[in-house]
Structure 1
Amino acid sequence: MNTPNALVVGGTSGIGLAAARQLRARGANVHIVGRGKERLDAVAESDPDLIGHRADGGDRAAVAAVAAAIGTVDWLVISLSGSEGMGPIADLDLDALRGAFDAKFWGHLTTIQAVLPRLASSGSITLLSAITARTAMPGTAGLAAINGAIEAMVKPLAAELAPIRVNGVSPGVVDTPWWNGLPDDARREYFARTAQALPTRRIATADDVADIVVTVATNPNMTGTVIEADGGARLVSLG
């Protein structure tokens, strides 16, 4: 049996890196794509079994070149994100929101187009959205639009690309570098307050969500589904 090839775009930190590690633990050849040399170098030191490539998920030619170098991609995971696009609608910086769409939504779509010619017919595509797509949190209309657009692609792509499987994973609040823009004290206070509001009474780790990502990427019976891995965030008010 051939060893499967996994490609994780946005795989140098957070959920993407955790998913890459778990896929490697399952025996896959795992390639990760990241934009920054510093993070790629750090992963090369901490996880030498992961094969790093420097490229921007929004650069179709660059991602296509990575996929061509791999040959056949069995499991494509797209874990692109950005920190912009949040804020009250009256004051929302639309240029920043456009940039956030470029980084995440258009990055997802560009990556799919770039890798599609190299995807195995028995392979899968797993997209990462966020729970803002399906909750009513004030100040997140911009993020909701981005993540909602990603989730809206899952079912039509699953039908169009069959037998390639397409799924999504929708995380809630996860302790990842995405929150590094907040001062440490503010982040700890927010996490503590949010944990008390969540039905699970805890903030998710990157590994918690990565476990779901790996399941939908590798399970041959799952397609056209968005899994909510949010600790119950959609059931309560986090505003």
Structure 2
Amino acid sequence: MMRVVILGGTSGIGLATAERLAADGAEVIVTGRDPEKLAAVKDRMAAAEMVDGTDEGEVTAFFERIGPFDHLVLAFSSGAVGMGALADTALADIKAAFEGKLFAYLSAIQSARVTGSITFVSAASARASLPGTVSLAAVNGAIERMVSPLAAELAPVRVNAVSPGIIDTPWWSFLPEEHKQAQFAEVASGLPAKRVGRPADVAEAIRYLVEASYVTGTILPVDGGFTVA
């Protein structure tokens, strides 16, 4: 049985991926920081553990407990921290954005005893040119840039990334619901796909990368044509 660990697997894209892989018969272990979200998924997964992905000690201890496994999915972030015009963004917020995703991903890779594949969740901001997203672009750009050298360094473990566009997840909770829906409608009108994405859309792409034994060093956009448009 395929054994998969999803850090950030209790919400949004991570949860959708956990549900998809568990439905396929995989043994899925998810982590998160919210006790209520962990409680809500624990009966649907092989295990659900409280782990702060930004705490190196907690991450190391977690991987020591679970031992070797097949596939690692890194699906958490610090949210919209650091978003906004660079001139108005505190350096501490930019550092928090890096520590909450890039550095946390690196820490997990150093500790995980993974034998099959690693899949990052980055974001289309890495390749877009939207004002107010400099910090997000820097973080996700760094994640996407390390895919190729890691694929070479960690071989035969495969390393890939999915790069979602606008996906309707709790990441957008910083916006009032009415404002969020208006922004989604505006974005959708300019996309070739004519809609914003769903977590399940990205989960299907992650599922593909987990199972695609001849694919490594790849960044797979899942953005409805956002970076095309």
Q: Percent identity?
A: 46
Give 3-state SS (helix, strand or coil) of 2:174's partner. coil
CA distance in structure 2 between the partners assigned to 1:27 and 1:40 by the alignment: 20
Aligned equivalent of 2:96, options 95, 99, 104: 99
**2:152 aligned partner, one-letter code:** A
CA distance in 2, matches of 1:48, 1:69: 20
Superimposed CA distance per residue, residues 102-159 of structure 1 (whole angstroms, 9 cap, x where no aligned partner)? 10111111111111xx212xx0000010000001111111100000011111000000
Q: What's the C-alpha RMSD, in Å, of the aligned pairs?
A: 1.1
Q: How big is the shift at 1:50? A: 4.3
* Contact residue 13 and residue 177 of structure 1 kept, 8 A: yes
Distance in 1, matches of 2:37 and 2:80, equals: 17
2:86 to 85, 89, 105: 89
AA aligned to 1:119 is V
Spell out the pairing of 1:74-223 with structure 2 (5 A cutoff).
74-81=70-77, 82-115=79-112, 118-120=113-115, 123-223=116-216
- Secondary structure at 1:31 match in 2: strand
CA distance in 2, matches of 1:131, 1:57: 22
State the shift of 1:93 in Å.
1.8
Contact kept? 2:51, 2:58, Cα under 8 Å: yes
Contact residue 29 and residue 45 of structure 2 kept, 8 A:
no
Match of 1:11 in 2: 9
TM superposition score normalised by structure 2: 0.96
Task: Report the number of matched residues.
Answer: 228
Deviation, structure 1 residue 59:
2.2
Check whether the contact 1:174–1:204 (CA below 8 A) recurs between aligned residues. Answer: yes
Cross-structure match for 1:41: 39
Residue aligning to 2:223:
230
Counterpart residue number, 1:23: 21
Aligned-partner SS, 1:124: strand
Contact 1:5-1:73 at 8 Å conserved across structures = yes
Tell me, in whole angstroms, the C-alpha distance in 2 between the residues paired with 1:101 and 1:49: 29
The 4+ residue runs of structure 1 with deviation greater than 4 A are none
Aligned partners of 1:60, 1:73: CA distance in 2, in Å?
A: 19
Unpaired segments of 5 or more residues in structure 1? none
Unaligned 5+ residue runs, structure 2? Answer: none
1:147 alignment partner, SS class? helix
What is the deviation of 1:66?
A: 2.2
Question: Is contact 1:20-1:50 (8 Å) kept?
Answer: no
The superposition leaves residues 167-198 of structure 1 with CA deviations (integer Å, 9 ceiling, x where unpaired) of 01100000000011110100110011110011
- Distance in 1 separating the partners of 2:146 and 2:54: 17
1:151 maps to amino acid: E
